[in-house]
Structure 1
Amino acid sequence: MSADQIALSRQADVFSLKEAFPPSTRTFPQMMIRQAERFGCRSLVTVGGATLSFEATKRLAARAGFALRAAGVKPGETVAVMCGNRLECLQILLGCAWCGAIAVPINTASRGAQLEHILKNSGAKLAVVESTHLAVFQRLPQESLSLERIWTVGDVPADAGLGWPHGPIPDLDAEMEAHPSLPSDTVAVLYTSGTTGVSKGVCCPHAQYFWWGVHTAALLGVTEDDVLMTCLPLFHTNALNTFFQALLTGASLVVETRFSASRFWTSLAAHGATITYLLGAMVPILLSRDASDTDRRHGARIALAPGVPPHFHAPFTERFGVSLLDGYGSTETNFVVGALRHEQRLGAMGRARPGFEIAVFDEYDNQVPDGTAGELVVRASEPFSIATGYLGMAEKTVEAWRNLWFHTGDRVIRDADGYVQFLDRMKDAIRRRGENISSFEVEQVLISHPDVENAAVFPVRSELAEDEVMASIVLKKGAVLGAADLLDFCQPRMTYFSVPRFVDFVDELPLTENGKVQKFKLIERGVADTTWDREKAGYTLLR
């Protein structure tokens, strides 16, 4: 069989899961019970140096569920989890799913007002916190939160100074029967990164993760012979999805502590990984490193890598021997747009996946013709395969799910063949002198310069009280580049009105733990003393 035929066969095999798991069984406990019976002592997950079989993972979930229930956590109640990629993090997430509680995984970079908002909005009475993050709880206003106690992970410093009763996770010495959850029940609340405003808690039902696993495994061609490796955080949908891919297919998952460019390829080789997961920023970081004999000393064949600029795909595959699979999904949706590797079109995310309908709307929710930019909207035909709303934010829920479509906030173009190209976030669009400018498109030109490592483009207010285009630039190690020379490179490659007026050379861009640029921080900083201004410099635009 050719590689394309194998890919199609594997997709068909994965979609047979729809028949293997009737709708009423698309909950974590039911999936876990069935797969433990089928795969037994076969390795399911390795995390924090510990390897658990399918059967051992089921027992871990049952014991963690018992500990939570014994502590008074009732079905439907929330449990906050602020922990790195450790076994304890996984056991609490699975324990919540087993006993009917709702896990609230929190970005470990959360601080201050953002963390206070998450704890207040979720109403968690119990928090499970890694010791390295306890200090951020010292500064929280205890009286305004529902939090009653903290279970600690790791050694607690003597000066922890916590205002709440705290102690280690209780011994897992007993098991409980699985709570009879429904596929529609919320299994986790994941908070958006908050790059443009207050974080929203996305209510994710059990069935949503079933479909995450099915669609992602189908596109990657996951089988029970595969070893998956992720270094993405377990508080992120991507990593949680990876667990369900392994659970549903019989594959084995390795969860690394964090992304390390220097150890990435050796880790793949050490674990025998065949499939891995990357975010957009990771690909240029790996390419920027000096070539090494470890570049191809591994068995990985494909990486899920949404949001990677098109010009990186060929160099990455040529150097490392790993194909990059694009696609579209969000915490609120699922893997709704994608294509098999041989069906991909460079620069496009793919087409609507089976079970999802997509459209492109204008600002009044009218569908626009193919080839016209607009907002990507999504709806599902399978029940509870996307999120059910935002926790405690009824108005935001109605706004996002209005007219029976989920409004993604992403600006795209769909062609006549149904392939979707991402342009930018709707809020990342810049309007200058009556022209709409895509920050994404400007960024693609900037990072195509051989001396540029990364770039972020965003609006700043000018003296004319309108948007001006500003770019923060990270240069490659050892590179020397002037702002005027950079704009000389840009001018032939973009419209004159898109050329940045302001250029800032910075050592790094502010990123979330998920690798997204926190543009609100750049906007807040705005034009600084070190910022180059082409108008003050007398730089001439060509029209």
Structure 2
Amino acid sequence: METVVESRAQPEHRRATKLTMPALLAQRAARSGTAPLFSDRTIRWSSQTALDIARRRAGALAAHGVGQGDRVALLCSNRAEFMEVVLGCGWLGAVVVPINTASRGMQLSHILRNSGARLLVAEAHLLEAVAALDGTDLSLENTWVIGELPDGGPTAMPAGGMVPMPPLGEALAAAELADGDPFAILYTSGTSGLSKGVICPHAQFYWWGHYTGGNLGVVAGDVLYTCLPLFHTNALNSFFQALIFDAELVVDRRFSASGFFNALVETEATVTYVLGAMVPILLGRPIEQAERAHRVRIALAPGVPGQFQHEFTERCGIHLLDGYGSTETNFAIGGGIEAQRPGYMGQLAAGFDARVVDQDDREVPDGEAGELILRADQPFAFASGYFGMPEKTVEAWRNLWFHTGDRVVRDADGYYRFIDRLKDAIRRRGENISSYEVEQAILSHPAVETVAVFAVSSSLAEDEVMAAVVPCAGATIDPLELILYCEPRLPYFAVPRYLDIVDDLPKTENGKIQKYKLRERGVSDLTWDLEASGYRLKR
């Protein structure tokens, strides 16, 4: 029988009967209108201010032709304008499409095309990546620009016009929305092909806030601090934790190892969020006074290797909370800090079902590795599918379970341990990387005949990107020149660190590349290393 753990319940008066963003925002303002809700460290919104901004940004969107169900692409870093657009879309019933600010080339073009976004809202310094795209088949009718265009910046977009982001408009009444209506489309890395747009309903984010905030023990008056990007589920759902637990969310633009603990002190944070690779980076720095001058008691820290957890807590006084969730699911495996076990994700949370299965979806015995599949008890606690990709939706949700693609082991006492990804995924700098998209960028180089991209181990508890490249007949490939070619075509974190220039790739009898052989071979004395070359990628 499956062991489950109860998520720490939120107080009854905060439980919502309607789980849409407008309902939650209105209820929060009614409870504590003057209490702070959001800050980007340049501005600070109370609950009532956030409600007014949602109404008036929705008014501006409607005045420019955006309606319920329309998609609005958002290419923006962690700043107030990001949340303005998110709240305005949610209030109006439009669907926000946050895009990784490092997206370039084929990936960015695919997201804009697949989502069918009518409007793009983008920071000025990110517009060059959009201007470089072929506008064929894009649905964009307009681009709103946040900030001033740099000298020499683009004067036109590949589709539609370009205007400064309009001011807030007249306040609108909230759209009539159901819990299952789409709130956002978040694009995954596309580990085995093109990125998939995960349709996230309003209620999914409520449950993200409920379970994550409950496990973290968030209470009224807490200050939640994140420097993780709002275009990912991790940071975006922290806003809902603040919303439903009467806390405040403070965001920074990016992670800075030298400035992280000072930021905790300056913001008076009590809860924070880190990724697996951030912890060994912070531990590798000299001890500083700010490590013990902060107020943070706990951090959500998925994927931190067990050997670092105790050391980090002892040194910094911050307890680390592991767990399991994905863009398509929710905080399904975890528990409070008292239930933590180093090296394990935790136990199944009440409200979810889980199985560990073989390739035919038959459950495997405890102690044996298999694929983790999940489902939720609450309506719309999981994503609704992949936008515009019905065949991928059917594949992932076959037999009425969501197939995570992750290999795990469940112990007899109900604790789950992560093993690896079933598919060919690469995890680097806190980002999931599609080997397919990296391969397509390299293959577009005229001197490349074929390529295989795969993960090799890193010293920072994550992956490094390696590519084995076969040149065209008679061609010579300079590794650094190939990196310079890839740089404008890929997110910086996806540019390979290691290159092997080879005569051929190992293949099966039917011609499929055997990447496992390349991974086993790994880095050799003949491998070219970007870090050793002295060249530094632009970010």
- 2:39 aligns with 46
The more displaced of 87-96 and 163-172 is 163-172
Q: Distance between the aligned counterparts of 1:80 and 1:475, measured in 2?
A: 33
Native 8 Å contact 1:190 1:204 kept in 2: yes
Amino acid aligned to 2:73: A
TM-superposed CA distance for 1:161, in Å, is: 2.7
Deviation per residue, 1:346-368 (Å, 9 max, x gap):
11101111111010010011111
How far is the alpha carbon of 1:73 from its aligned partner? 0.7
The CA distance in 2 between the partners of 1:522 and 1:367, in whole Å, is 39
Alignment size in residue pairs: 456
Residue 456 of structure 2 corresponds to 471
Q: How far has the Cα of 1:470 moved from its partner?
A: 7.4
Cα RMSD, aligned residues only: 3.0
Q: Deviation of residue 112 (structure 1)?
A: 0.8
Structure 1 pair 535–54 and aligned structure 2 pair: CA distance change class (3 A) = closer
Matched ranges for 1:118-197 at <5 A: 118-157=111-150, 159=152, 160-163=154-157, 164-197=160-193
CA-CA distance at 1:74 after TM superposition: 1.1
What are the Cα deviations for residues 391-424 of structure 1, in whole angstroms up to 9, with x where unaligned?
0000100000000000000000001111100000
1:319 counterpart = 2:315? yes
Counterparts of 2:211 and 2:293, CA distance in 1: 29
Task: For residue 169 of structure 1, report the CA deviation from its aligned partner.
Answer: 1.6
Letter in 2 for 1:104: V
Give the conservation status (yes or no) of the 8 Å contact 2:191–2:424.
no
1:269 aligned partner: 265
Give the equivalent residue in structure 2 for 1:90: 83
What is the TM-score normalised by the length of structure 2? 0.79
* Counterpart amino acid of residue 229 in structure 2: P
State the match for 2:476 in structure 1: none
Equivalent residue number for residue 20 of structure 1: 15
Contact 2:40 2:80 in 1 (8 A): yes
1:48 and 1:257 in contact (8 A); partners too: no
Alignment counterpart, residue 354 of structure 1, candidates 347, 350, 357: 350
What's 2:205 paired with? 209
CA contact (8 A) 1:234 1:240 kept: yes
Residue aligned with 2:330, SS: coil
Deviation for aligned residue 1:137 = 1.3
Q: Is the 8 A contact 2:8 2:217 kept in 1?
A: no
1:421 to 406, 417, 420: 417
- Alpha-carbon displacement from aligned partner over 1:269-288 (angstroms, at most 9, x marks no partner): 11110100001111111111
Q: CA deviation at 1:97?
A: 0.3
Q: Is the 8 A contact 1:228 1:274 kept in 2?
A: yes
Tell me if the contact between 2:196 and 2:387 (Cα under 8 Å) persists in the aligned partners. Answer: yes
Cα offsets for 1:483-518 (capped at 9, x unmatched): xxxxxxxxxxxxxxxxxxxxxxxxxxx99xxx9975
Q: Mark the CA change 1:475 to 1:92 in structure 2 (over 3 Å): closer, same or farther.
A: closer
Aligned residue in 1 for 2:483:
none
Tell me if structure 2 keeps the 8 A contact 1:413–1:421: yes
Name the counterpart of 1:452.
Answer: none
Partners of 2:22 and 2:91 in 1: CA distance: 6
Distance 1:226 1:77 in 2: 35
In structure 2, what residue type is equivalent to 1:276?
T
SS of the aligned residue for 1:253 comes to strand
TM-score for both structures, normalised by structure 1: 0.79
Distance in 1, Cα, partners of 2:98 & 2:273: 20
Partners of 1:269 and 1:282 lie apart in 2 by 18
Post-superposition offset of 1:144: 2.1
Distance in structure 2 (CA, Å) of the matches to 1:475 and 1:267:
23
User: Could you say what secondary structure the match of 2:148 adopts?
Assistant: coil
Q: Which residue of 2 aligns with 1:278?
A: 274
Q: Which residue is equivalent to 2:513?
A: none
| 1:319 shift after superposition | 0.7
Distance 1:329 1:531, change over 3 A: closer
Distance in 2 of aligned mates of 1:173 and 1:470: 48
Does structure 2 retain, via aligned residues, the 8 Å contact 1:15–1:218?
no
Q: Is the 8 A contact 2:39 2:45 kept in 1?
A: yes
Question: Partner amino acid for 1:418?
Answer: G
Question: 1:234 and 2:230 equivalent?
Answer: yes
- Using the TM superposition, give the Cα deviation of residue 428 of structure 1 relative to its aligned residue in structure 2, in angstroms: 4.7
Q: Given the alignment of the two structures, is residue 218 of structure 1 paired with residue 214 of structure 2, yes or no? A: yes
C-alpha displacement of 1:16: 3.4
| C-alpha distance 403-120 of structure 1, shift in aligned 2 (>3 A) | same
Structure 2 CA distance, aligned partners of 1:104 and 1:78?
7
Is residue 371–residue 403 contact of structure 2 (8 Å, CA) maintained in 1? yes
Cα distance in 2 for partners of 1:278, 1:532 equals 29
What is the 5 A alignment of 1:436-455?
A: none
- Could you tell me how far 1:194 is from its partner in structure 2? 3.0
Displacement of 1:263: 0.8
Does 2:293 match 1:297? Answer: yes
Q: Secondary structure at the match of 2:291?
A: coil
Deviates most, 179-188 or 166-175? 166-175
Deviation of 1:171 after TM superposition, in Å, equals 1.6
Distance 1:49 1:526, change over 3 A: same
Q: Any idea what SS the aligned residue of 2:178 has?
A: coil
Residue type at the aligned position of 1:136:
A
Contact between 2:8 and 2:215, CA under 8 Å: does it hold in 1? Answer: no
- SS in structure 2 opposite 1:182? coil
Asked if the contact 1:15/1:214 (under 8 Å) is kept, the reply is no
Are the equivalent residues in 2 in contact too, given 1:137–1:162 (CA < 8 A)?
no
Does the 8 Å contact 2:305/2:342 carry over to 1? no
How far off its partner does 1:193 sit?
A: 2.1
Match of 1:243 in 2: 239
Distance in 2 of aligned mates of 1:374 and 1:364:
11
Shift of 1:197: 2.5
- Work out whether residues 35 and 250 of structure 1, in 8 Å CA contact, stay in contact via their aligned partners in 2: yes
Query: How many Å separate the matches in 2 of 1:527 and 1:290?
Result: 38
| 1:31 partner amino acid | L
| Distance in 2 separating the partners of 1:214 and 1:473 | 34
Structure 1 counterpart of 2:392:
396
Q: How many percent identity over aligned positions?
A: 49
Equivalent residues in 2 for 1:472-511 (5 A)? 473=458
Shift of 1:170: 1.3
- Give the SS at the match of 1:296: helix
AA in 1 matched with 2:93: G
Aligned to 1:382: 378
**Aligned 8 A contact 2:38 2:248 in 1:** yes
What displacement does 1:471 show? 3.5
Cα shift readout 1:404-450 (whole Å, capped 9, x = no counterpart)? 00000000000111110000001259xxxxxxxxx99xx9xxxxxxx
Q: Distance in 1 between the 2:146 and 2:191 partners?
A: 28
Which residue, out of 284, 302, 309, partners 2:305? 309
Match of 2:92 in 1: 99
Which 5+ residue runs of structure 1 have no aligned equivalent?
A: 1-7, 430-438, 444-455, 459-466, 477-509, 537-543
Deviation at 1:157, TM superposition (A): 3.2
Kept after mapping to 1: 8 A contact 2:8/2:336: no
Instruction: Check conservation: 2:58, 2:169, Cα contact below 8 A.
Output: no
Retained in 1: the 8 A contact 2:265–2:294? yes
